[in-house]
Homo-oligomer: A and B are copies of this chain.
């Protein structure tokens, strides 16, 4: 059975020594929530993750969810009680607005907490994860009345939420949508249509489920410009806040899928369901994007989170499993063989995972700080907003691509035992796989990055990012110990710049040149971003070592892992740039029939 131990020491290192939250105490987000408080909350959160959620992970996979004849769905054994504990502990309300019962904690905290929840039990974590997305969309775009009715219950976790975009014939291309909203004389709407792949769409964890549904108002504009967003509660809400009649939405079936069996993926049928408009008519995509951007960061973190727990278990196995002898001489003479961890190729896989996990975690939490800066409305809010827009697709796609690859490698370390369900490693692979697909398949993220985000405001965001890297490199230029970290970052940053300039030049000629290089470009961007985070971590570790106060072993390991990242991960940038520069010609040469 897999284990999980929350990386609390890593979080502390990041909060205090890398992100420097103490220096940011002028931000309203951190004024009352400094590192001491955040650490205390995370330590408490770690307990529920390790002790309540993680033990249910395999149960959830084995049992899955069950749809009954009446359309109701039950979650796996133990999920209901665990959800109760989770909600009673106030965990859904961490970063929510105090006006609606939230705790008003910073976003950076939720980045760390969500990672722990997902490492423990990804399928479970999706229930509160989606709920928070609905909370955010309503908080930003809902009318005061909608907020008054729905936000307190979503904050408390008494109700959960879902997002409804996909239909059988349309996923990415929402302009093809057929679900209709018929205006009613009372100002409300009646929603009819079918939505598929609705995570957490029906279940027994909460007394009500609040569906956010994209639909076209009858008579509105064609295509994506006619899409509006609606709140459709499973049970109608009475004026006194109590639950009224069942609304016209029902679960037609649940999908049999590759993984995340503990989460019910539903076909939802809307049959004249009462719905309430969120925001303006035909402006549904704007509100939905609020929710989607939040969800994309969460999905990116799923890649990291499953990679982390898979890594932890691979390390244990590599330390314990005896097989073969070290090439450099017997390492464990008292044993019949040496542990796997003496073998370089096993190390390669473990170090790839470790270097990614720590770099990706730093990157995620740095994004969390950007969200807090934005939310505080402080100086730098515009830049923080730019970074969020620019880097959300990078987090979503790179962390899930690489997180999945790491799960595959963690499974590989187990050899044949990794293929057997009992060990739990293959579940990580199956679960992590979905994160590359949902909330916008990774190819869509790459297209969003090169097609939309690069050019935003005349490239303001990407130029700011280059300046951020350059400023850090300049700061470190005089520090001899940082030279081995700076050089590969500088090289990768230059490759990214070359790729960006190539796009500027060739994209005008033919937009396919942009799209053809988009995935490589996104990965090259991620290497630069993680490289930047690794330089910051190496610097912090070096400073810590020099100060002589902290855990020298921790700092030394950090420096060594950063070195590995620079030497063994960054070179991929060379191949990415070379591929980008070949453009679209060879890729697009064949007729569709020639495949």
Contact = CB atoms under 8 A, between A and B. Distances in A.
CB-based closest 3 A-B pairs: A571-B578, A344-B515, A345-B443
Interface in A152-200: 166, 169-173, 175-176, 196-197
A421 B590 CA distance: 30
Given A175-B337, A344-B588, A556-B594, 11 more contacts: A258-B419, A258-B421, A258-B426, A318-B595, A327-B451, A345-B516, A351-B587, A561-B590, A568-B579, A568-B587, A571-B574
Chain A interface extent, by class: 35 or more
Given A512-B344, A518-B344, A172 B323 contact: yes
A348 interface: yes
Contacts of A590: 351, 557, 560-561
Interface stretch (A84-92, A244-252, A428-436): A428-436
Contacts of A418: 437
Contacts of A419: 257-259, 433-434, 437-438
A506 interface: no
Contacts of A408: 404, 433
A93 interface: no
A578 to B, nearest CB: 4
A442 interface: yes
Interface string A78-112: 00000000000000000000000000000000000
Given A337-B176, A516-B348, A429 B258 contact: yes
A526 to B, nearest CB: 15
Given A319-B592, A324-B173, A574-B575, A442 B258 contact: no
A563 interface: yes
Interface string A505-529: 0000011101110110000000000
A490 interface: no
Contacts of A582: 567-568
B564 A589 contact: yes
Contacts of A323: 170-173, 176
A415 interface: yes
A416 interface: yes
A237 interface: no
A420 interface: yes
A341 interface: yes
A286 interface: no
Given A172-B415, A416-B197, A557-B594, A512 B574 contact: no
Contacts of A446: 345
A490 to B, nearest CB: 15
A336 interface: yes
A571 B563 contact: no
A553 interface: yes
Contacts of A197: 416
Contacts of A451: 327
A429 B519 CA distance: 21
A264 interface: no
12 contacts: A197-B416, A258-B420, A344-B515, A345-B515, A347-B587, A350-B595, A412-B443, A416-B437, A429-B433, A557-B594, A573-B575, A574-B574
Contacts of A572: 575
A415 B560 contact: no
Contacts of A429: 258, 433
Contacts of A169: 322
Nearest to A556: B594
Nearest to A436: B412
A447 interface: yes
Contacts of A196: 416
Contact of A171 (B173, B416, B563): B416
A339 interface: yes
A328 B512 contact: yes
Given A351-B587, A584-B344, A579 B574 contact: no
Interface in A432-470: 433-434, 436-438, 441-443, 446-447, 451
A434 B587 CA distance: 30
Nearest to A592: B341
Given A172-B323, A324-B173, A426 B586 contact: no
A455 to B, nearest CB: 14
Contact of A447 (B170, B172, B345): B345
A432 to B, nearest CB: 11
Interface in A302-361: 315, 318-319, 322-324, 327-328, 336-337, 339, 341-351, 354
A556 B590 CA distance: 9
A256 B584 CA distance: 44
A347 B588 contact: yes
A271 interface: no
A567 B586 contact: yes
A422 interface: yes
Contact of A422 (B256, B421, B422, B438): B256
Contacts of A171: 323, 415-416
A255 interface: yes
